[in-house]
Amino acid sequence: MTPPESPGPVEHAGDIDARWMTRALRKNGFNGEVTKLSFAPIGTGQMADSFRCELVCDAAGSAEGAPRSVVVKMQAADELSRNAGANGAYEKEVRFYTELEPTLSIRTPECYYAALPDDGGRFALVLEDLAPAEQGDQIKGCGVGHARSAVVNLAGLHAPRWCDPTLLDLGWTVRISQEQADGLQAMLVIFAEQFVEHYGSQILPRDASILRSFAPKSASWMRGRQERFSPVHGDYRLDNLLFATPAGGSPVATVDWQTLEIGLPGRDLAYFLGNSLTSKDRRESERELVGAYHEALMALGVTGHSLDECFDDYRYGQFHGLIITVVASVILTHTERGDEMFMAMFSRACEAIGDLESLELL
């Protein structure tokens, strides 16, 4: 059978019908036909919208084991969030699944169909539905067991392309330049004051001081430690992780690849542990968890990177949480849950920076 023409992205989830889904799945070798589908929104993404799509297939599709449900991810309906995503983030996610993911060991959903963003910022991904796996809760935080699974999975992102020079030639995701770092620093200095003003008394004076101390030094931090690099998720936190339930499946899988870049691997590790555990759990378990991550790196072939160096990169990487939290809070539409999440992330990041004396490394 000749593969059908690509269905292309659409404006609204309601524009996806059985014919569109059939054409999308046939790009992945599906030979049956979707006869009926239904949508329900899922997730709490700030930059794109996701939907679970229940499928009914004809006899041929059912016989070959067509998925009973898939996840469709597409541009945000909210204009502010959509504009932020259309500025390169949507392309990164599509190209991650089509070009980079096959070379890695990290567990992610299988990608059945991908359409790059068009001139209107519309894109489409049809992904494996990992239900009944459950999304982590960024506000609540996670236990040490889930954190251990997450850092071991993270090693599967970093290790296979550790210091691989071909990463620097990808084009669609790059290591930050000095010009870009300077521009982001200028923006962060302004955003820091807007962030402090918006959240007011919710921010401790110590935390505001940490942010104001870091912002004018952030460019040198972003460009620091370039001798070690790998693909970096950039937003590796609980809301972007799916954990297996007692029903089984992989312990954890990672989604949302719109912030992918090439950078210091320790930034992902620091961002996750500094923002996804309560400060008490992090203090008690971070040595063990950094050790589990380092052990997984070594098992996947990384050499010449000591545990002490790994932990020092973890200390250095803690500022990633400040940048992501402050910038996202300012540029994205505010929601009640979003504000609560940003405050939890910001306070935990500042606690970690203080505990680890990370400011001394700048």
CA–CA distance, 4 with 196 (Å, rounded to integer): 52
| pLDDT band for position 256 (cuts 50, 70, 90) | very high
Predicted local confidence at residue 64, as pLDDT: 65
CA–CA distance, 159 with 265 (Å, rounded to integer): 9
| pLDDT band for position 67 (cuts 50, 70, 90) | confident
Under 8 Å between Cβ of 159 and 296 = yes
Bigger pLDDT: 145 vs 76: 145
CA–CA distance, 187 with 80 (Å, rounded to integer): 18
Q: 72 - beta bridge partners?
A: 51, 126
Handedness of CA 70, 154, 345, 222 (dihedral sign): negative
CA–CA distance, 294 with 204 (Å, rounded to integer): 33
Residue 274's alpha-carbon distances to 29, 195, 330, in angstroms, are 42, 19, 21
Predicted local confidence at residue 249, as pLDDT: 60
Helices then strands, counting H and E runs in the chain, come out as 13, 10
Q: Which SS3 state, helix, strand or coil, does residue 275 take?
A: helix
Bigger pLDDT: 283 vs 64: 283
Q: Which of 32-36, 131-135, 263-267, 275-279 is the most confident on average?
A: 263-267
CA–CA distance, 98 with 61 (Å, rounded to integer): 24
Mean pLDDT of the chain: 91
Section 305-329 average pLDDT: 96
Under 8 Å between Cβ of 284 and 300 = no
| pLDDT band for position 58 (cuts 50, 70, 90) | confident
Q: What is the pLDDT of residues 1-57, one digit of tens each?
A: 444 567 889 998 889 999 999 999 987 778 889 999 999 998 766 678 999 999 998
Fold observed for domain 13-128: Phosphorylase Kinase; domain 1 (3.30.200)
CA–CA distance, 176 with 184 (Å, rounded to integer): 10
- Is residue 219 within a helix (H) or strand (E), and if so which, with residue range? helix 218-222
Q: What is the pLDDT of residues 181-195, one digit of tens each?
A: 999 999 999 999 999
| pLDDT band for position 84 (cuts 50, 70, 90) | low
What are the structural domain ranges in the chain?
13-128, 134-361
The residue count for the chain: 362
The alpha carbon of 202 is separated from its chain's Cα centroid by a whole number of angstroms, namely: 26
Residue with tokens 């993404």: 45
Residue with tokens 């378990």: 285
Predicted local confidence at residue 1, as pLDDT: 44
Query: What are the two backbone dihedrals, phi and then psi, of residue 252, each rounded to the nearest 5 degrees?
Result: -155, 145
Asked whether residue 80 carries a pLDDT value surpassing 70, the answer given is no
Predicted local confidence at residue 334, as pLDDT: 77
Asked whether residue 59 carries a pLDDT value surpassing 80, the answer given is no
CA–CA distance, 23 with 17 (Å, rounded to integer): 10
Identify the weakest region by mean pLDDT among 59-63, 135-139, 189-193: 59-63
225 phi-psi bin (left φ>0, alpha ψ -120 to 50, beta other): left
Share of the chain above pLDDT 90, in %: 77
Considering only the top CATH level, what class is 134-361? alpha beta
Bigger pLDDT: 4 vs 350: 350
Q: What is the pLDDT of residues 142-154, one digit of tens each?
A: 999 999 999 999 9
Q: What is the CA radius of gyration of the chain?
A: 21
Q: Is the pTM of this model over 0.85?
A: yes
Which segments of 31-88 does DSSP mark as H helices, in order?
59-63, 79-86
CA-based nearest residue to 321, from 340, 347, 285 = 347
Q: What is the pLDDT of residues 156-181, one digit of tens each?
A: 999 999 999 999 999 898 899 999 99
The alpha carbon of 43 is separated from its chain's Cα centroid by a whole number of angstroms, namely: 13
Residue with tokens 């049956």: 32
Predicted local confidence at residue 108, as pLDDT: 96
Predicted local confidence at residue 28, as pLDDT: 77
Section 254-265 average pLDDT: 95
Residue 23's alpha-carbon distances to 5, 9, 122, in angstroms, are 7, 12, 18
Strand spans (E) along 221-280: 230-232, 241-245, 248-254, 261-263
Asked whether residue 125 carries a pLDDT value surpassing 60, the answer given is yes
189 C-beta neighbours (distance < 10 Å), count: 15
